Amino acid sequence: MTTLTLIGKPDCHLCDVAREVVETVVAELPEDAVEIDELSIADDPALYALWWEKIPVVLIDGSLHGHWRVSPDRLRAALTEAIPAG
């Protein structure tokens, strides 16, 4: 299973938009192919130190996919490539 991690914070408009893009794209993929893990920089000082200037941040299997704005087409392509065949 591929893991997508969305790092943001409460009351963040770009984070809300990114969440909608992520949910829409993941819903188009095979069921249970992608697990979404949402983390908040407000809850984790280490995440805050790393990402506060760049939220929302999207990681795919722990690797940086992008930050600030999430492109549905780019995300769909990356997830399709990351999902194990089978």
Residue environment code for 23-35, b if the CB has 16+ CB neighbours within 10 A, otherwise e: eebbeeeeeeebe
- pTM equals 0.94
C-alpha span between 69 and 82 (Å, rounded): 20
Per-residue pLDDT at 85 exceeds 90: no
pLDDT in the model for residue 67: 97
30-76 confidence digits (pLDDT tens): 999 999 999 999 999 999 999 999 999 999 999 999 999 999 999 99
pLDDT in the model for residue 10: 96
pLDDT in the model for residue 86: 58
